[in-house]
Structure 1
Amino acid sequence: MALKTLLVSTKSEPIVRTTAKEFMFGYPSTLATLGNTFLPNWISFEKVGLIDRMYDFSTDFETFYTGVPNPAISGLYATYRGETKLPQWEQDHCNNIEYASDGTKFKSFIKPNETVKFFRKSMCRPINLYRVGEEKTYGSLKGYSYVFEDNAFDNGVTNKANKCFCRKGKYR
C-alpha cells in the first residue's frame, strides 16, 4: 500500500516508455529525485538508467597508492570520495575499500592463500576474490585465476559476514 501511495503522490508510473538511450544512460525520475533528497548517501542520483551511474564520475574522486614505499599496493584504492569506508555500510567487511582493486591493476607479489579485495562503484560494495586452481604460465608471465567468494551477494543468511549489508542487521 505504501508504494502505491508514493507512486500516486509523486505522479510516478511503475512502467515508463523511454528511448534506448534514456534506458541505458538515464531518464528523470521523481522517485529517484525524492530518494536523493532524503537519502543522499544512499541514492546519490536523480535519474534512472541501466548504466548511467557506472559512467557518472561527476561526484567521484579516488586516490590510489603509487607504490612508494610499498610497490605491492601500487594502483590499489587509498580512498574513494576522500574516505576509506563507504558511508552506507557499517563494519569493515562491508564498507572498507582501502587496498581494493578496481580491476585495472591488482596487488603485486600475492601469496598463494591471500584474499584480493575488489571494488567497483556500480556494485556499491567491496567483494573478496579467492584464488582457484594452479599457477598458469603464458610465455614468461605467471598468472592465477580468482573467483568471487561463495555467496558473495548473500544477505547474511548463508554468509554471516554479509549481514552488515542489511540495514540494522535485518535481512528478512
Structure 2
Amino acid sequence: MTVFTGATDIRLFAALDKFNGRTHLPHWTTDSCNRMSGGSDGSLFPPRIQPDTVLHVFDKDMCRKLPLVFKKQVEGKGGVKAYRFGPDHRAFADPDHEPENKCYCPSLNSPSANSTSSSSSSTTSMPMMSTKTNFPQCAPHGTFNVSLCQYDSPVLLSFPHFYMGDPRLREAVLGMDEPDADRHEFYIDVQPEMGVAMRARARVQINLAVSQVVDIKQVATFPDIVFPIIWFEEGIDELPDNVIQLLKLATQTPPVAKAALQYALFASGAVLLLLALGCLVRNSHRQETMSLEGTAHYSQDEKKKPKKTIPPAPMSATVLSNGNGTAAKANAGYVADDE
C-alpha cells in the first residue's frame, strides 16, 4: 500500500495511492466503485477535518472504500477534542434505498452468478436477493455481497446483529439481539486539526447466504436465509500517553499562543500610540514655549536699547548794533534785556 505524503497538496495527506500496485479494483461495475485512491487505512486522515467532511476508509476484505460521516463530538483521553465518524445507513443500503450502490451488485454474467445458477434450480441464486432486472444479485438492505473478491464464497458482510439493516434479517434468526449503537456501531474518533485517529472500533458481522437447493438433499428444505456466523470487533481504546501529550501540545498550545500574541500586539500598539501622542504634545508645547521666550527677549531688547536723540541745531549769533553799543542775539529766538 502506498499513500501520499501531502507535500504538494495537504488535502491528500495519508490518502491511498495504490494497493498491491493497483489504483483500481477489478471487481465492480463502475470506475468510481473500483477506484481506491482517496481512501485511507483508517489511522491517519488529512488535517483540518470539518463536521461536513466525508471520510473514506479502504478495507481490503470488503474490497471497497467505506464512507464515514460525522456522528458527534467526543472528548478523548487528556481532554483532547475528537470527532466521531462512522458509516450511516447508506453504506450497506440496497439500490432501492441508495442508487449509487448499484455498482456493488455482482453482474449476472459474473463467474459466481453463473456457477450458482447452474447448481440450483431455484430462480434466485442468493437468498433474498433482488430479482429486478436493473439490480441483479444485489444483497439485502443492510448487507454487502463480497463474493466477487472472496473467491466466490457466498458471504455477506453486515454490522453486528444487522445494525442499520432490514429488520426481517434479524427476525428470521432466533436469538438475535436488538441492535444497539453503543455495542454494535462501527466508528473512528478523529482529532480534527491533526487528522489522527484517537479511538476506533471496527465491528463487522460475517453471514452465510444460504439458498434452497432442491438437488441437494441436506439443504433441500432450507429456506432462503442470511445466516449469521460470527461478529467481531477490533480497534484501539486509547493512544499512548506520550502521543496524547504531543497531540495536546500541537492542538492546544497554538490557540493559546495565538490569543496571547494578539493581546500582546494590541497592548504594544496601544503603548506606541500613547508614546507617539505624548511626543506630539511635548513637541507642540516646546515650540509654543520657544515662541513665547523669543517674544520676551525681543521686548527686553527693545527696552534696553538707548533712544536716539537728535542734537539741537547750532545757533548762529549775529551781533547787531543798535546804536547804543548793545549787541543783540537775533537768531537766539529771544532778545536779551539791556543790562
Normalised to the residue count of structure 2, the TM-score between the two structures is 0.30
Instruction: State the SS of the aligned residue for 2:71.
Output: strand
Cα contact 1:155–1:171 (8 A) shared by 2 = no
Separation in 1, partners of 2:137, 2:98: 12
Query: How do residues 16-165 of structure 1 correspond to structure 2 at under 5 angstroms?
Result: 62-134=1-73, 136=75, 139=78, 141-165=80-104
Residues 150 and 76 (structure 1), Cα distance of their counterparts in 2 relative to 1, 3 Å cut: same
Task: From the two aligned structures, give the one with the greater helix fraction.
Answer: 2
Q: C-alpha offsets along residues 8-46 of structure 1, whole Å, 9 cap, x if unaligned?
A: xxxxxxxxxxxxxxxxxxxxxxxxxxxxxxxxxxxxxxx
Whether the 8 Å contact between 1:66 and 1:73 is mirrored in structure 2 is: yes
Report how far residue 115 of structure 1 moved.
0.5
Structure 1 segments unaligned to the other structure (5+ residues): 1-61
Q: Secondary structure at the match of 2:36?
A: coil
Q: Which residue of 2 aligns with 1:170?
A: 136
Letter in 1 for 2:16: Y
Distance change >3 Å, CA 96–CA 75, structure 1 → 2: same
Aligned 8 A contact 2:90 2:98 in 1: yes
Q: Structure 2: which 5+ runs fail to align?
A: 108-134, 139-339
CA RMSD for the aligned pairs?
A: 2.2
Q: C-alpha distance in 2, partners of 1:93/1:70?
A: 22
State TM-score, norm by structure 1. 0.56
How many angstroms does 1:110 deviate by? 1.5
Q: Percent identity?
A: 29
Between stretches 78-87 and 114-123, larger displacement belongs to 78-87
Cα-to-partner distance string for 1:38-81 (whole Å, 9 max, x where unaligned):
xxxxxxxxxxxxxxxxxxxxxxxx21111212234322201112
Q: CA deviation at 1:137?
A: 6.2
**Shift in alpha-carbon separation, 1:149–1:92, aligned structure 2, 3 A:** farther
Residue 170 of structure 1 aligns with an amino acid whose one-letter code is P
Structure having the higher Rg? 2
Deviation at 1:83, TM superposition (A): 2.6
- Counterpart residue type for residue 49 of structure 2: I
Distance in 2, Cα, partners of 1:117 & 1:135 = 20
SS of the equivalent of 2:103 reads: helix
Q: Partner residue of 2:288? A: none
